[in-house]
Amino acid sequence: MASPSSIEGLGASPQAAAEQRSQGGDSPRLLLCVPSLPDDVLSGLLADLATVFRRDEVLIASPDIEEPEFTPALPLTVFDGTRVRSDWVLTAGDYVAANELMQRHDATQVLLLGADVAALPVRAIREMADRIAAGGDLAVPSYSLGAHDGLVASALLYPLTRALFAANIRFPLPMDAAMSRRMAERMASVAQRQAASQADALLWPVAESAAAGFSARQVDSGAPIPSAPAASDFNTLFVTVAGGIFAEIEAKAQFWQRSRGPAAAMREPPAGQKNGGSGDIAEELPGMVEAFRLAHRNLQEIWALALPPQSLLALKKLSIAEPEAFTMGPALWARLVYDFALAFHLRSLNRGHLLGAFTPVYLAWVASTVRTVTDDATAAAHREETAAAFEREKPYLVARWRWPDRFNP
């Protein structure tokens, strides 16, 4: 483990380097945190970043760097990477570490880059920094999606964030994020309550910015959506993400229950580089339908504890539909998600069991989506139709949240 030391002068401590910059009036506006990278990859990244940033406006922070075998194209410093999980999305430990680094170097904004930083164009990184420099509080990238890419974001994260937090951010669980100083301090305050026991806890900066009255913007990156960790199990990953957004909904219930207008309309980013596998997932449609039918037979008792009668009836009808007619409409999907979010809040049953029982319902939505969405144009329309349905059905969630017994005779 490298001890924190500045590589700007290869010897001065970070605190001393920050003091020198402060005394000289040239303290960098931006602290840019990158994940642990091999020397050759880091050298190339810094060279690319040097085409859009000046040396006097940015300080690059990287974990676990000994004296590099190359001459850094931009000022470089070290931080303790053991506090940061950089293999997927940003987590509690990342926000705590980012705020500590900002305070240490007296920076006014911070940009956290994830494990797929090499795929993110430097122009997008520059634009995210510019959004904060212009007075914004949070900027995150949006990615180019193929017809069957980013389904969890399209099914849950985007529509819930848009409907409940009036934030039209396509990927509210970010892999990369730029933050103002006050946003970084707020995220660190939230993260510190979780990081001590769970450094990799998921946080939702878009919801946090909405609750604080801060601004949140997205930057079209043109990059493909980063992949989940290769070693991850889908069921575990889905339960983690769904449980995280349900917990955020519960924590901010007083905020989203207040009446507010819908989010501003979003311009769909142009289609670009796409992940493979769309044909493979379409071939899995019969298997997904059969898996849902099996879940319907085996999960009746659990679903009955979480869902009102009308939702149970809708799932029953879906279970007997043929694959070519297997359709879960956006309004039904929105209500089912709201039902499970409420059951999560009410602790109608063990949360692990609840989220496990929610997974086959999500896969039924995937089967329906794969059947009806065939190209980029229909995928974009389907994402917007789904999000709009969540907005229309929000009164259903508010009513169930306040008077749950009315829906469970």
169-211 pLDDT, tens digit per residue, is 999 999 999 999 999 999 999 998 876 667 678 899 999 999 9
Residues 6+ apart with CB under 8 A from 163: 262, 334, 387, 390, 391, 393, 394
| Residue 23 reports pLDDT greater than 50 | no
Q: Would you call 347 exposed, middle or buried from its count of C-beta atoms within 10 A (0-12, 13-18, 19+)?
A: exposed
Contact between 183 and 111 under an 8 Å Cβ cutoff? The reply is no
| Residue 369 reports pLDDT greater than 50 | yes
Beta pairing, strands 138-144 & 177-180: antiparallel
pLDDT at 2: 38
Q: Examine the domain organization and report whether 195 and 311 are in the same domain.
A: no
Task: Express each pLDDT in 248-282 by its tens digit.
Answer: 999 999 999 986 666 555 555 544 444 444 455 66
pLDDT: which is higher, 62 or 280: 62
Q: Examine the domain organization and report whether 44 and 172 are in the same domain.
A: yes
Q: Examine the domain organization and report whether 307 and 162 are in the same domain.
A: no
| Residue 155 reports pLDDT greater than 70 | yes
Assigned domain for 272 exists = no
Q: Examine the domain organization and report whether 37 and 177 are in the same domain.
A: yes
| Residue 20 reports pLDDT greater than 50 | no
- Single out the residue of 133, 247, 161, 167 nearest to residue 201, CA to CA: 247
Which structural domain, as residue segments, surrounds residue 21?
A: 14-232
Assigned domain for 325 exists = yes
Q: Would you call 319 exposed, middle or buried from its count of C-beta atoms within 10 A (0-12, 13-18, 19+)?
A: middle
pLDDT at 19: 44
Confidence of residue 50 (pLDDT cuts 50, 70, 90): very high
Assigned domain for 267 exists = no
pLDDT at 390: 97
Residues 6+ apart with CB under 8 A from 196: none
Domain count along the chain? 2
Assigned domain for 249 exists = no
| Residue 333 reports pLDDT greater than 60 | yes
Half-sphere exposure of 94 (CA within 13 A, CB side): 31
Residue the block writes with tokens 């797929």: 116
pLDDT: which is higher, 67 or 407: 67
Q: Examine the domain organization and report whether 18 and 159 are in the same domain.
A: yes
Q: Examine the domain organization and report whether 115 and 227 are in the same domain.
A: yes
| Residue 17 reports pLDDT greater than 50 | no
Q: Examine the domain organization and report whether 198 and 60 are in the same domain.
A: yes
Task: Express each pLDDT in 70-99 by its tens digit.
Answer: 888 899 888 766 554 556 788 888 898 899
Assigned domain for 209 exists = yes
| Amino acid making up residue 345 | H
Assigned domain for 273 exists = no
Q: Examine the domain organization and report whether 225 and 343 are in the same domain.
A: no
How far, in Å, are 120, 159, 174, 368 from residue 111 at the CA level?
A: 13, 25, 12, 38
Beta pairing, strands 109-112 & 30-33: parallel
Half-sphere exposure of 137 (CA within 13 A, CB side): 18
pLDDT at 82: 53
Residues 6+ apart with CB under 8 A from 55: 74, 75
pLDDT average, residue stretch 358-369 = 95
| Residue 32 reports pLDDT greater than 90 | yes
Q: Examine the domain organization and report whether 108 and 37 are in the same domain.
A: yes
Contact between 106 and 175 under an 8 Å Cβ cutoff? The reply is no
Q: Residue 58 and residue 61: Cα distance in Å, rounded?
A: 10
Q: Examine the domain organization and report whether 293 and 145 are in the same domain.
A: no
Q: Residue 241 and residue 68: Cα distance in Å, rounded?
A: 37
Q: Residue 299 and residue 307: Cα distance in Å, rounded?
A: 12
| Amino acid making up residue 225 | I
pLDDT at 58: 94
Q: Examine the domain organization and report whether 335 and 196 are in the same domain.
A: no
Tokens of 341: 């979010």
pLDDT average, residue stretch 101-115 = 92
Assigned domain for 291 exists = yes
Residue 144 pairs in a beta bridge with 224
pLDDT average, residue stretch 22-34 = 68
Tokens of 148: 């069957």
CATH number for position 82? 3.90.550
**Concatenated DSSP letters for 44-101?**
HHHHHHTTTS-GGGEEEEEET--S-SS--SS-EEEE-GGG---SSS-BHHHHHHHHHH
Assigned domain for 243 exists = no
How far, in Å, are 32, 144, 165, 245, 251 from residue 156 at the CA level?
A: 30, 18, 13, 8, 17
SS3 call for 320:
coil
Q: Examine the domain organization and report whether 107 and 207 are in the same domain.
A: yes
Q: Residue 225 and residue 222: Cα distance in Å, rounded?
A: 9
- Which of 231-235, 269-273, 315-319, 399-403 is predicted with the least confidence, judged by mean pLDDT? 269-273
pLDDT at 202: 87
Tokens of 242: 């769904």
